[in-house]
Structure 1
Amino acid sequence: MNTQHIFGRQGQDWWRGAVIYQIYPRSFMDSNGDGIGDLQGIIDKLDYIASLNVDAIWISPFFTSPMKDFGYDVADYRGVDPIFGTLDDFDRLVEAAHARGLKVTIDQVLSHTSDLHPWFAESRTSRDNPKADWYVWADAKADGSPPTNWQSVFGGSAWQWDTRRCQYYLHNFLVSQPDLNFRNPQVVEAILDEVRFWLDRGVDGFRLDAINFCTHGELVDNPPRSSSAEGFLGVRPDNPYGYQLHLHDKTQPENLAFLEKLRALLDEYPGTTSVGEVGDDDSLNVMAAYTQGGKRLHMAYSFDLLGERHDPEFLHQTLTAMEAKIGDGWPCWALGNHDVPRLATRWKAQDDPARLRLYLAFLLTQRGSVCLYQGEELGLPEAELTLEQLVDPAGITFWPAYKGRDGCRTPHPWCAETRHGDFSRGEPWLPVPDEHLGLAMRHQDEAPDSLLNAYRTLLAFRREHVALKKGEVRYHPVRDEVLCLERSYPAREPNERLLVALNFSDALRTLPAPREAQALDDAPALVNGAWANGEVQLPPCGIAIARCPAREEIVWDV
């Protein structure tokens, strides 16, 4: 047993306000020339990751898998797939990361497995074998049709007929990803044992994929969404999954009991953490329920900031709604990940480093922890791929209305002058776009004013201000496309109170501000707003942060 997690961690609440760098291992760094990134490649680049001034890494799945969903279809929770390396490589990675002050969190896909997992292989053999009830099985309706109208995220019915048992099994994702039955206590204990295996190897936490999918409700049909003259609200017309209100197939109350068991296990390993991915129409309420009271998840994040809308009014509405609901819970915010188009493209900031700096400042000044997806620090745009280049099953299924997730998963460019951006000596599993080579790490590393170095600077600045990491938040009204908020940390004497103003417009903005506001001596140059004489002046895409005394309530007349 690796006891480093018990005796070697400093600060059991390190996760509160932490910045976590997401690594998609297939695309980060290939050490052996087979065109696929691996664990050794991550080890080789840990110094780079540490230079960003992040607190932890999150490694997307590297477990044994047929790779039909690129690792999110797990065939062995305790095995490292050979394309990524070995368990010894993983142990070396944990040791090397900890030596650099980086925590290690890993993906755990708990709601479903691969159909090649031994549990499913046994479960499907008969209706009375020892694991017969480990997955969600149901009889057909009298006419032979599926038990309910539930839809798969990847298109079509969420039920697949199996001729061995002459029953349907539930799969919320691919047909090859059958859903586990969390109503079975044996399944819950087995899953907790899989999690314990990695805790004993010294991991510091888990990112929990699709965690609100672990339990299903009664086998009754989901109702349709409300419709309008423009069609179904909030629905991609190419995917029928969005045509339903998902009242019965996910986010069930019984899931809370499982999360409490999972938290009790994590509490046996001081200093470990959990962050849950929540995909739901009512995601803010789910985030609150899943993190409140200190008995379930430590943190949760949703897709609310992973869509296309990013105007300051929408951001203000989303953030204030979250604050009104979450109580003593803790959010985790992300502007990008491996499932959505690249931030620079999605939020219309391609070739606009000033706007990308603004988005980073926005993210780093919110209350909560932060996830950064690899390549965001370089400003990578979404890669434009042809149908022939796609490997993502979602993209292939829904082409051309939806081009899938491969555009945000192309290899990390390290050097513009070498083949494939120095990602691999071989042909990479996805191409390296030419437009990414000009944004390569080495080129930006040597440029003081690059976006990469802006990330390093702002992340270091956040580390030095406890109010930004762990403090309370108060939002002020949006005016002239300027988002205004204050962060304070009453637990510190004297109370640190910071005022933040973020200009989302392309014009100079001058707004009233508290006369007591004083510019921070340690603010980096890219924090370019000016505070004077009861005003704050912000250049286009400007960022302003000031300190203000905490003697009395601030009136910020904006």
Structure 2
Amino acid sequence: MAGKTADWWRGAVIYQVYPRSFQDTNGDGLGDLKGITRRLPHIASLGVDAIWLSPFFKSPMADMGYDVSDYCDVDPIFGTLEDFDEMMRAAHALGLKIIIDQVISHTSDQHPWFIESRASRNNPKSDWYVWADPKRDGTAPNNWLSIFGGPGWEWDGVRRQYYQHNFLTSQPDLNFHNKEVQDAVLKTVKFWLDRGVDGFRLDTVNYYFCDKLLRDNPAHEPDESDAGLDAPDSNPYGMQNHLYDKTQPENIDFLKRFRALLDQYEDRTTVGEVGDGARSLKTVAAYVSGGDKLHMCYTFDLLGPDFTAAHIRNCVDTFQRMVKDGWVCWAFSNHDVNRHVSRFAKTEAERPVIAKLAISVLAALRGSICLYQGEELGLPEAELAFEDLRDPYGIRFWPAFKGRDGCRTPMPWEAAKAHAGFTSAEKSWLPVPYEQAALSVDAQQTDSNSVLTHYRQTLEFRKQHPALIDGDMEFIGTNQDLLAFTRQKGEEKLLFVFNLTREAAEFKLPAGVKVAGAVAVPGLKGEVSGGAIKLAPLSGYCGALA
């Protein structure tokens, strides 16, 4: 069972908390660390192994905390370092690990490092960020773009140079080619290791280095692999092949330094976020192989609109073929994408069915899995008015792209209360839509047929079967649109078949494959009859193999 060994992370279930939307305890309309502590029993009741906390560091909050101005302190809107310590102690007492979000590819422009760096061209930190002279006509050094819109360069009048930013202009990119920068970053990591955190989720882990020669990116040539693009169609960022502004070979050596630091401590882990378009799985393979870099990574491959057997099989099979000694973390939702119930369901009536089926599939895959707060309630994406938006990405590309606020609305706890029990403030930082409030925790808590109950039962089932934690996985070929595979460890061998279509299907057992009997899995009710498994639309089956 995950959580009892040094590699507790292998096969673990990680629950992502977005602090500003989880629980407010001081009435300011924003979630805080004390609120997380208050709601830890709910998280523990799901049967997860760890919590991933999105950033809570000091920040001007231009990008909701992903613009850090002090890596070693808590922003006052979330509380204090003492509040963090109290939360971590309470989590550990419940058997929950704490993974924090390290955003080290860039800082806020209000970070002391950048304030000093931009002051002159010859100060001690002048080379801590990616600075470059303009072209002779005054334009930017190259054609790199920002994911959040516009050029990836911003002019600074004091230095009379441009600095690179992959995101907002207020998020300048650190220069990881400078070893002093690496040392300073690792020192902040050590601060949290010494404080007792169990691991790190590394934001944009392939963005640390850019090309030293600052070469132009070539144009992107569209093809069938574009499903992995990490920018919406409305964003010209996707028109480039990002060969030079990220995923540079020097990143490997830094990740080895990061791992060497973690290996000085017991039972710690890393999970890296890789956004590299169609190359994402190849990049993941490079970062997790060998046992000397990241423990595991996740990509955006399952965070798109495609919930089909062919797509899931291709992603998992590709990773397994490319990586023999590394680990992956799968997720269907997070704080950056539309909630998967809305992405996958074709009708409102399908939403609870899809919510249950999706966790059943995710829990059966080989790898660790990450859940995003509220998905255990089957929350759909919130439809917000433009005036309610807080996400700079959505505001910039509205209305073609509505941004990320729709998946960041507050967690609904109590249906009958204002703001669904999230805050006592007159106004919460984002509204709680009625359709989300109706799906609150208290409304589902005692309903044996609820999405919440299904999550708890499914995660309990996963824990009870070692084959699902770190057992082998092998796909079974079929010419039907079905997802069929086995999970095996020791004497235990389980067969899973999922029908993700809206039509009934029948899976014929291959020659030599014999089902000893159905396994009681929450929600999976396919039937074996005459050497075949009969599956209703949007359903699955699990059986023990003889």
Q: Corresponding residue for 2:52?
A: 58
Distance 2:13 2:113 in 1: 36
Per-residue displacement from partner, 1:165-210 (whole Å, max 9, x unpaired)? 1111010110000000100110001100000100111110010000
Matched ranges for 1:16-415 at <5 A: 16-217=10-211, 218-226=213-221, 236-281=232-277, 282-348=279-345, 350-352=348-350, 353-415=352-414
Could you tell me how far 1:314 is from its partner in structure 2? 1.7
Amino acid at match of 1:518: A
Relative to structure 1, is the Cα distance of residues 173 and 273 closer, same or farther in structure 2, using a 3 angstrom cutoff? Answer: same
Relative to structure 1, is the Cα distance of residues 44 and 139 closer, same or farther in structure 2, using a 3 angstrom cutoff? Answer: same
Report if aligned partners of 1:225, 1:232 keep a CA contact under 8 Å in 2: no
Distance 1:80 1:519 in 2: 53
Could you tell me how far 1:354 is from its partner in structure 2? 2.0
Distance 2:284 2:178 in 1: 25
Matched ranges for 1:435-454 at <5 A: 435-454=435-454
Per-residue displacement from partner, 1:138-165 (whole Å, max 9, x unpaired)? 1111111111100001011111010111
Report if aligned partners of 1:18, 1:55 keep a CA contact under 8 Å in 2: yes
Relative to structure 1, is the Cα distance of residues 110 and 233 closer, same or farther in structure 2, using a 3 angstrom cutoff? Answer: closer
Relative to structure 1, is the Cα distance of residues 315 and 107 closer, same or farther in structure 2, using a 3 angstrom cutoff? Answer: same
Could you tell me how far 1:438 is from its partner in structure 2? 1.2
After the TM superposition, which parts of structure 1 deviate over 3 Å for at least 4 consecutive aligned residues? 231-237
Relative to structure 1, is the Cα distance of residues 394 and 442 closer, same or farther in structure 2, using a 3 angstrom cutoff? Answer: same
Report if aligned partners of 2:228, 2:300 keep a CA contact under 8 Å in 1: no
Q: Corresponding residue for 1:428?
A: 428
Q: Secondary structure at the match of 2:272?
A: strand
Which moves more between the two structures, 467-476 or 452-461? 467-476
Could you tell me how far 1:232 is from its partner in structure 2? 13
Report if aligned partners of 2:463, 2:469 keep a CA contact under 8 Å in 1: yes
Q: Corresponding residue for 1:518?
A: 516
Q: Corresponding residue for 1:552?
A: none
Q: Secondary structure at the match of 1:331?
A: strand
Per-residue displacement from partner, 1:5-54 (whole Å, max 9, x unpaired)? xxxx8411000000000000000100111100000000000001000001
Could you tell me how far 1:338 is from its partner in structure 2? 0.3
Relative to structure 1, is the Cα distance of residues 423 and 354 closer, same or farther in structure 2, using a 3 angstrom cutoff? Answer: same
Which moves more between the two structures, 504-513 or 320-329? 504-513
Distance 2:387 2:308 in 1: 35
Report if aligned partners of 2:457, 2:522 keep a CA contact under 8 Å in 1: no
Per-residue displacement from partner, 1:341-364 (whole Å, max 9, x unpaired)? 011101126432222211111111
Report if aligned partners of 1:259, 1:296 keep a CA contact under 8 Å in 2: yes
Q: Secondary structure at the match of 1:474?
A: strand
Relative to structure 1, is the Cα distance of residues 58 and 227 closer, same or farther in structure 2, using a 3 angstrom cutoff? Answer: closer
Per-residue displacement from partner, 1:246-300 (whole Å, max 9, x unpaired)? 0000000000000000000010111000000000020000011000010000000
Per-residue displacement from partner, 1:484-527 (whole Å, max 9, x unpaired)? 001112xx3xx221111011122332222265212355x23412
Amino acid at match of 1:256: I
Report if aligned partners of 2:227, 2:301 keep a CA contact under 8 Å in 1: no
Report if aligned partners of 1:227, 1:233 keep a CA contact under 8 Å in 2: no
Amino acid at match of 1:327: K
Distance 1:214 1:263 in 2: 15
Could you tell me how far 1:479 is from its partner in structure 2? 4.1
Structural RMSD (CA): 1.6
Amino acid at match of 2:537: P
Distance 1:96 1:267 in 2: 25
Could you tell me how far 1:478 is from its partner in structure 2? 4.2
Distance 1:301 1:39 in 2: 26
Report if aligned partners of 1:515, 1:534 keep a CA contact under 8 Å in 2: no
Q: Secondary structure at the match of 1:443?
A: helix
Amino acid at match of 2:19: P
Per-residue displacement from partner, 1:405-431 (whole Å, max 9, x unpaired)? 000000000111110000000011000
* TM-score relative to the length of structure 1: 0.93
Distance 1:525 1:322 in 2: 28
Report if aligned partners of 2:527, 2:534 keep a CA contact under 8 Å in 1: yes
The alignment-based identity, stated in percent, is: 52
Distance 1:342 1:375 in 2: 9
Distance 1:376 1:262 in 2: 32
Could you tell me how far 1:105 is from its partner in structure 2? 0.4
* TM-score relative to the length of structure 2: 0.95
Report if aligned partners of 1:519, 1:530 keep a CA contact under 8 Å in 2: no
Relative to structure 1, is the Cα distance of residues 136 and 356 closer, same or farther in structure 2, using a 3 angstrom cutoff? Answer: same
Q: Secondary structure at the match of 1:293?
A: helix
Report if aligned partners of 1:498, 1:548 keep a CA contact under 8 Å in 2: yes
Unaligned runs of 5+ in 2: none
Report if aligned partners of 1:94, 1:104 keep a CA contact under 8 Å in 2: yes
Report if aligned partners of 1:110, 1:209 keep a CA contact under 8 Å in 2: yes
Match of 2:526 among 529, 539, 545: 529
Which moves more between the two structures, 531-540 or 95-104? 531-540
Report if aligned partners of 2:454, 2:522 keep a CA contact under 8 Å in 1: no
Amino acid at match of 1:528: K
Could you tell me how far 1:528 is from its partner in structure 2? 1.0
Amino acid at match of 1:225: H
Per-residue displacement from partner, 1:434-466 (whole Å, max 9, x unpaired)? 111111110001101101000000000000111
Report if aligned partners of 1:146, 1:159 keep a CA contact under 8 Å in 2: yes
Unaligned runs of 5+ in 1: 1-8, 550-558
Relative to structure 1, is the Cα distance of residues 464 and 170 closer, same or farther in structure 2, using a 3 angstrom cutoff? Answer: same
Could you tell me how far 1:533 is from its partner in structure 2? 4.2
Report if aligned partners of 2:521, 2:542 keep a CA contact under 8 Å in 1: no
Amino acid at match of 2:302: L
Relative to structure 1, is the Cα distance of residues 12 and 520 closer, same or farther in structure 2, using a 3 angstrom cutoff? Answer: farther
Amino acid at match of 2:52: W
Distance 1:216 1:478 in 2: 43
Amino acid at match of 1:64: K
